Chain A
Amino acid sequence: MSDSASRPGMPTETLIGALAEDLAPVRPLPPAGLRALAWIGAVLILGLGLAAGTAEPSLHLAGHLGVPDRAVALAGAALTALTAAYAAFATSVPGRAAAWALLPLPPALLWIGASGLGCLRAYLAPAAGVAEGPGSGCFTFIVAVSLPLSLLLVLMLRRACPLRPNLTAALGGLAVAAAAATLLVPFHPHEATATDLVIHAVAVAGVIALNGLAGGRLLSAR
């Protein structure tokens, strides 16, 4: 493999020597899919921990799954979390196509579309006997759940080499926001109103934006 046209100069040769001396064995990172599943596992553990501290979340969950559009929205959010996490891990590896960033778009559209549909249905045919609760609880929930999940995801992503740190961080933010929204559903005692959905959307957008800004910095500082 010797190439006479590009004989290295002295400084580069010195650098190569220094790097070779510094060499320590490393374990190759697991494939992006496995790493995404590991993070999803942490999300599930957090969800179970929250469920253990709350009374009868399963009743709320069953109530939500009984309504088609809410079930679709829930599935969309869960799928968005899964695909966005995979895309974030894939784009953190050099040489993987940036087109992986498109993977979470269809489930995200499903999530947003079904949520909007649910909002429309609640407006046309309001469910009887459902008290409109304050939306600030949901906002706090999404932000509080997002913080540890974001931190964990950024730490995991940093172990790879994100050459497009802002794209990877934004995908991570989408994964975190979708995971938080999924976890919120079983703890959401009442039917989502338009106000709720707006608050959810603001919280989700905020989580994605914060991840994109702060995460991009954290991921590129290596």
Chain B
Amino acid sequence: MALEETLAAAMRAAQGGDAAAYRALLRDCLPVIAARVRAQGLTGAAAEDAVQDTLVTLHRARASYDPARPFLPWLRAIAQRRAIDAQRRAGRRPREVHDPVAYEGEADDRPAPEAGLEAGERAAALARAVAALPAGQRQAVEELALRERSLDEVSAATGRSKVALKVNLHRAIKALRASLGGERDGERNGRG
């Protein structure tokens, strides 16, 4: 029990006012406290908070350590208590899979099922609008926007100038905005 003796001796010195021994004691206590805090299921910032709360409690309660008794049980009891407090604060009870209520009540952060249908409809509307464009504009959109190829690549592949491609893309986007926006307006008017 080398650790126990080292810590107990440092704590006796700290009770006598030895700041250097106290600093060393607090540092040496960190692994012991962290182990207790982790055993309580805390991680990350909540664990850090619990460790620091334990240090503050240790500081305030240092007169309650009886030098005739072992130090580690005293320290571990404080760490355990502060870890439980931190856990309650965080509302972070361990989620048990075999607990049906907790299992059913667990929120699913993935998109709702109808989100996929809506996305599909939007993609189909966009594809119809692109297909309705004049050939030059459609080529510009497909190559530059959908396949994300560079102006240089598309210019070399199609033989059109970069300026012509840019103009076509610009006109295509304007036309798509008009047709898709118009559809949406039409929907809105239809509903209203």
Contacts and interface: CB of A to CB of B under 8 A. Distances in A.
Contacts of A20: 19-20, 22-23, 26
A171 B95 CA distance: 34
Contact of B27 (A8, A27, A159): A8
Interface in B82-117: none
Contacts of A159: 63-64
B166 interface: no
B162 interface: no
Contacts of A94: 61, 64-65, 73-75, 77-78, 81
The range of chain B's interface size is: 35 or more
Contact of A29 (B64, B75, B81): B64
B77 A163 contact: yes
Interface residues of A, number: 32
Interface string A9-21: 1011001110111
A6 B34 contact: yes
Provide the main secondary structure of the chain A interface: loop
Provide the main secondary structure of the chain B interface: helix
B128 to A, nearest CB: 56
Contact of B30 (A8, A21, A160): A8
B61 A161 contact: yes
A24 B15 CA distance: 8
Interface stretch (B48-56, B131-139, B151-159, B179-187): B48-56
Interface string B1-39: 001001000000011111110110011101100100000
Contacts of A28: 15, 63-67
A28 B63 CA distance: 5
Given A94-B74, A160-B61, A161-B60, 20 more contacts: A6-B30, A6-B31, A8-B30, A12-B52, A12-B55, A15-B52, A15-B55, A19-B59, A23-B14, A23-B59, A26-B63, A28-B64, A28-B65, A28-B66, A29-B64, A29-B66, A92-B64, A93-B74, A94-B65, A94-B81
22 contacts: A3-B31, A6-B30, A20-B26, A23-B22, A25-B17, A26-B62, A26-B63, A28-B63, A28-B65, A28-B66, A29-B64, A29-B66, A31-B66, A93-B74, A94-B65, A94-B78, A95-B69, A95-B70, A161-B60, A161-B64, A161-B78, A163-B77
Interface of A: 1, 3, 5-6, 8-9, 11-12, 15-17, 19-29, 31, 92-95, 159-161, 163, 222
